[in-house]
Every structure is written in structure tokens, then in C-alpha cells.
Structure 1
């Protein structure tokens, strides 16, 4: 079995306390997790095998939402502080895991992405409706994690997920998905987000592009000629002749 997580444990020394570090890299549950009792149990055993605070480094495009939900629950249930550090990307299911951090820090060049859950379904209309209802329930459960961390309204979070929203570190701090942008140890502590932040919405970009295409495709028809008003010169001459006689 290929694990998507890796532990690095550093024993306590005279100058430094014991340190536990968990790395989550690549696709979450790339080979095994769903409908599998072995993998979740193994992760939990390794998590609980040590004591003290832990640091979780995340660089993942996401993956299985069931695995993400279980890891989130395990980290939330861990009896010590969990510091999450996003050094590359925490997208989709990985963003859910990040919400379990007591504190969430992001590299200044990292990204966080949230979107609606997806699945593959086949069958008749009844089966399709079941899939839709299942996805709706999964979305509600994901919003729970985002809401606890950010304090944003469920409606706001739902709109951000609908739009497939990408956030840089500054925007993630601004919206409450992260607590701080990582800095060099020697830098002066400053938890204020940068003045310029970036939020990218796939839906907004697509809509803007479609509007521009529609504008380009409009037919440049010439303006209609104005109809002459009043009487023609011929009519005036006829009127004068009648007046003469």
C-alpha cells in the first residue's frame, strides 16, 4: 500500500522539545481508503502513537472526501495543538483537512482552493437523483468544517464553493481560512495580511469570457436611415400651382 502521509519524529533534547511532524503530500487516499477499515486505523494508530503538539505540512491537490473527513475528525480529536502549514497547495479535500488546525499558516506562495464535491454516477433517473442528494449532503458536511474555522455564513461559503474559488495566502487569511502568512524567523512579527490579495473564481472568469465573446460576435449593422420628414419639393410646387389658379 502506498501511503500519502509520512511522519518525522524528533526526540526531545536539552535545547529543544520533542517535535512531531506529519507530511501530507500528493493525492489523498490515492490507492486505498474508501470502504477500507485498515488504512484509517493505521493512520489513527500512527497519530496516537506519540504525544505532544504536532505540525502538519500539506501540499496536496485533494482527493477522496471520505478520507479527508476522517483525517479531519482524527486531528480535531487529537488532545494537543495541531499547527497546519500549507507550503504548496491545499485544494479540494486537502483544504478540509487544513481546517482541523489549531492554527493554519500558509506560505506566501501557496494556494488554497475550495469547490463543490464531485462524483461519478450511472443508472436511471432514480440513481441520478440519489447521487445529487448525496453530493448535497457531502457539501453540507464540508461547509461545517469551513464554517467552524472561518465564521463565514453558510450562504457565503456555498457561493465560494459554487465558483471554485482559489485563494492566495493573503486572501485566505482575510477570509479566515488561515491565521497567518509564514515568514522567516528573523522577520518582525506582523499578522496583518498583505495589502493586495487574490481571489480567483473559475465561474466568474468563464462568465466574463463568455460576455466578451458575445460582444465580439455582435453584427455591426449600419444604423437605419432616417425617414424624410415633411413634404417633398414636388408636392410644394403642386400646392403653389393650385393657389395660383
Structure 2
């Protein structure tokens, strides 16, 4: 007996039941080199392997087809399996292999895979009654295959029968479009952008419009005494005192005002006009500054 299937059991995390571990089933090549029609051993071995676990299974298919009886039995076994069944077509799922693919709870197709459906075929010999019986059997086999296709795709039997008559080949997108597959396989995303933090909308203050609340609020603007208008000269003096200067022009103007105010307190002579720094100084103004420096020393 030549086994056309291979099971791989994934590693079981510590503390978990090995029977619930995920398993992978590979179906490569021809589905059963010998017919399962009159075979009790091979189907039993496949079912024994299938029932050796209870966890989810992934079925990878790359097959041109084969024995329709084997495909039908594998389909029924996968359909009745209690765990989740995911089918992945990574190459070709043609003829009988396409029937097995319909047993998946989810069917994924590689972007470069193909799926093909056609009418069943057989070889027959004998008289006309024997050939008529073979034709009747092929019709019944086709109906059984159509049942699997209808269940998965939701298409009508008439449309699917026409597709089988025409021997329809489907690429990944066409298989998804017609319902034979659920989606095209993609490489899992490696990077995930973090969602931006949601801004909490500002809530209105319920006491904002309450006049009584405003009166009792010490920070209320209405309770604050009126401020006197700012004196630009005082601002300049404050900047000199604190050492904060924002431009050379402001610093020069502040220093001039400071000297001018001090000059008023020392000299009783009539005030002489101060010439703007940008326009230069007169001789008298320079002499006044020198006298001021002497008094400050």
C-alpha cells in the first residue's frame, strides 16, 4: 500500500493536552494509486490517523486528482471531523482533489495555485447493458460531486454541471469569485502600526454659566480687582532688574530710561531733551552723563 498522505503534529505548549494540538495533513500527488472502491484497509488507516487527535487540522493539497471513491471518503471524514478543518491549496487541486478541498471550514488558495473541475470518467467494457450501467453510475457520481460543490459555493446545480461539462480551470481569484475558495493566501503582516491615542473630548464645566458659582469662585475673573494699565517704563526697569532682555534695542531703551530717571533726581536744572540713540548724542548730553557717573561713584 502506498500512502499518499502525511501527518505532522505541531509542538504542544507545556501544560496543554497533546490530543488538542494542531496537526497538518499533506496530500501530495495522486489520490490513491489503487481504488478504494473495494478496499477496507486503506480508508480505515486514514480514518485512524485522522482520529488520533481532536485539535484543529490544516490540509495542504497539491494533487492532480485520482480515485473518486477515495476522494469521497476523505471528504466525508473531514466533514464529520469535530475540530476545525482549514484547507490550503498551494499548487493544484484538480478533479477528485477539488472534492476533498470542499470539506474545509475555510479554504485558502495560493496566488499561483489552480483548481479544476470536470466530469468523472471511467473505463468500461461489455455489452450495451454493461455500458448503460457505467453511464448511469457516472451520472450518479457526478451528482454526488455536485452536492459537495453546491454546499461550498452556493451556486446552482445547473451552473456547476455546465462548469464540469466544460472542464473549468480556475486561478486563485476565479476560485474565490465562484465560491470554491474563501480567500487568497497572503504573507502574514510582520509590522503593526500602533493605533493613535484617542483624544478625550473636553467636557463643558456645568458651573460655567452659574452666576452664583462664579461669585464664590476665588479664581473668577469677575471677583478680581481691576489691574492698572502696564507702564512701559516700568516694564523696561523690571527687565533690567531681572536680567531678561529680548533684543538690543529694548536693552538700550531700558538703560536710557533708567539713566534719565536717575538724572532727574540728582539734577535740579531744567531737563534737556534726550536725543534718540539711533540719532547720536549732543555734547551737552554727554557731559550730563559724565556728571551722572561722577555722582554715582
TM-score normalised according to structure 1 size: 0.74
1:26–1:61: 8 Å Cα contact kept in structure 2? yes
Quick one: distance in 2 between partners of 1:103 and 1:53?
12
Match of 2:150 among 147, 150, 157: 147
Partner of 1:12: 12
Partner of 2:34: 31
Structure with larger RCO (C-alpha < 8 A, sep 6+): 1
How far 1:13 moved relative to its partner? Answer: 1.9
Partner of 1:165: 168
1:32–1:39: 8 Å Cα contact kept in structure 2? no
1:1-245 matched pairs, under 5 angstroms: 1-13=1-13, 18-31=21-34, 33-186=36-189
Quick one: distance in 1 between partners of 2:159 and 2:37?
30
- RMSD of aligned alpha carbons: 1.7
In the alignment, structure 1 segments of 5+ residues that lack a partner are 189-245
Matched residues, number: 188
> Which protein has the bigger strand share?
1
How far 1:51 moved relative to its partner? Answer: 1.4
In the alignment, structure 2 segments of 5+ residues that lack a partner are 192-297
Give secondary structure in 1 for the equivalent of 2:7: strand
Q: Choose 1 or 2 for highest CA Rg.
A: 2
Quick one: distance in 2 between partners of 1:85 and 1:187?
21
Segments of 4+ in structure 1 off by > 4 A?
14-17
